[in-house]
Amino acid sequence: MAVGLGQIRGVKQNVNPYIVDKEALKTELRETYKDILITIEGINEDAFYKNNKEKWSAAQNMAHLTLSAKVLSRALKAPKIALAFRFGLNSKKQRSLDWIRETYNNATFPAVTGFEPRMSSETSMVFEKEQFIKYHESIIASLDQWSEWQLSLFKLPQLVLGKLSVREMNLFFSFHIEHHHKAIKLALD
């Protein structure tokens, strides 16, 4: 039985907490990325780009999420047979959001991931927001091309967590947005 993310977080205990249905994934992805837009609403460009030498600025966090969303969106649009040949098929039980959070939070990250923010000197807050929305909405729209069973069967690689089912990857992505939302709030303080 498939459930929504709210149910995974403890609202409903009599269902399998490892299976989150596609509509719940889409809703959670949209809500988490829009939370970031609400956080940066009304701030000026200086605050958006203000960089603490040790931590990314709000702009850099958003650029990182946009790059990640662009890559995931492209993967979700790839022919499924190509994904199966490249990454294999999932035969494992679906892992929970709690597993994803715990594993990611306890991981050691490589020094260079390829997902560092890439920003042009001609960038603007408006442009960064447009790109952020465009690629996150592209992920959500791409999920319509996936059936529930395909979300659990096909795998995609995640740098820190290894190969995840497409369903798990989207759970991770929602968590990843929340993770960087916290960093954005800190950057704006």
Series of mean pLDDT values for 10-residue runs along the chain (189 residues): 40 47 93 96 92 87 95 97 96 88 82 68 89 97 96 93 94 94 92
* 66/47 Cα distance (integer angstroms): 19
Two tokens, residue 126:
């408006």
What single letter denotes the amino acid at residue 135?
Y
pLDDT value at residue 137: 98
pLDDT value at residue 12: 34
Give, as one character, the DSSP assignment of residue 94.
P
Chain-centroid distance of CA 146 in Å reads 17
Alpha-carbon dihedral sign for residues 121, 124, 129, 131: negative
pLDDT value at residue 11: 31
Q: What is the three-class DSSP state of 42? A: coil
pLDDT value at residue 114: 66
Measured CA to CA in angstroms, residue 82 lies from 79, 86, 147 at distances of 5, 6, 17
